[in-house]
Structure 1
């Protein structure tokens, strides 16, 4: 028992700190991945059981069927797709995907804090000592997460539903790479050390990209909210026509919530110009709207009317370059540089990166949602990518260079760079 007492050269506080930051790396990281996957899976399974009970009071089917539906919904959030009565449904409910990513971030941050005491200290890392704590923890986290996802797919899959296990593995690894790995780096304190070594130009370009992406996200949400508010009566009528009592209405609301990020991606694709389709042979853009018969879903009330569009919608094509221009000008003003080349690289690089992000979001937002013409409900991802890269990139380039020119004329020759990105 005397070994548990603090040594003469170390205080009790130091011992507690070591116990909190030097937990078993293999166990903590692997368990973190398992818990990240299992926690969101349990939420989806619980929703499946609640939905089964609300739909008909549990009169049809068995609890295991409700559990399987919840698990399949979780797998769809990982890109698995399913077959419903022989019809493929490949659209990814991005609300579930984002929930899984957020959970992985939170647990990854805790894992990073729990193993931060392993490896060299901060001075050792600065001196170039090999530090494999974050890569090892992230790999173990991903292993725990992916194995849980594969086991879920194995148990929940049936020949009739046929979810894609390879896509589940791919999405699981992507979530761990994009959410858990950065969280572990931040929680362990390595991210702050590594960020200081990133070139100033790259950090400034990432700042521009982040600001453009956030501003465009807010504009897309605003456009969707306005479109729904303008035709709210249609959405209310659709909800009123849902039969079966309170249960189906609640399920419709939950489905709308998990598909809200998809709708925002559709809205952003519309504002960018290329638009999207809501069925084979349809097109929704600021310049033309061609629709056909649509399913009874409340969120579809946000669609514009079929036929000719108002004249003002054509001016929406100026919105993306304007956003790039304003954001790059703002970033150049708050974090100035006297070099035209550096200002151009910062602005254009950030605009292009933001465009790539939105192109990726558009590619994930659509897919098949039903039989027949409903097999093609998606943004025009390729065109969205090209328009976003060109509009954000060129707009940001003009804004960054314009403010740099103004600063050259009005500010002192010696400009002190602000390294604070906050």
Structure 2
């Protein structure tokens, strides 16, 4: 036993690529951090976009507040030089991408002044500010002199967004990498080192080393999963050592009584063989009548069917049913009914006793006879012989409506290879013939 234990313990592990638990944990952590980073970057970038839009709106409103009155006054005073300077100052402001000034003069077509920061028109969603320019030539007077449209700088808006997005991505990546590194370091120090130590200890186990207990090298004696595993491994070694000791003692005792046990096994084997033969006979034959039961009948019917098909020989089946047997049981009792079935079975054995003929009880009062190498005419003659033999026994049946004695109805069917490809079709044909025999008045043979 010790040699077998040593052989099993020294077998190398399966040659499969080693996969560290720590690396898998780090990979899972990185994947989680990746999805979390994507979600956070998306959310924070959207917030940054909204904040940039709001900030640019505020900047445009401030520019409008600064230049609105001076622009209106320059238009009213027809001060072209001042107007050009101010509109240029508005267009040069950082958040402004495009300025459109629409000057209204009574009796004249509106004059439009447009300044673009970029030669190519901007595309995208940018803040746009529309204001009416109102001049006050004297106290209490208000005159609309023009309209001012200020559009934000789309490129500046995206530059600010990308700057913040880069900062967000870098921050989230650094956090994820730090978290993964922390998880791997903690897992390696708290778990991986001790698991490797446990694996080495178990790999060195042998019958003579079972008393050497596992001792994890940890600075603090913690009560956790590893301490529980350490305790269970040591307890398993103690139990295995005690088991090996008991097994060694049992092997010595077994060797002393081996010859006696061999003789006893031989005797019991002979008894078991005889019992199996008896059980096999019981499993194949009906306990009441001694005829083949349904199970044995199902085994042999297909064999006879295939033999008849293969050799192109006739095959007939008789389906027999005791007439008014329920009334018989009600009149004479079930014990007398069992005796009646035994008499019928004895009659069947006396009529159909040739080699190859099979008689079976397949139901309460139903019997089947399989006749190899017999055609329909010969089967009908055999069925009539069975009816005659049963009538000669004169089994009383006062409840019968066709005879004062027990009678049977018999359906006969012959194999037709052209229309039948399994035995159940032949059996069904015999069952239909039995139905006709009952319908025609019972106590007869129907083909």
Q: Which has the higher helix share?
A: 1
Bigger RCO of structures 1 and 2 (CA < 8 A, at least 6 apart): 1
Larger-gyration structure (1/2): 2
Q: Which has the higher strand share?
A: 2
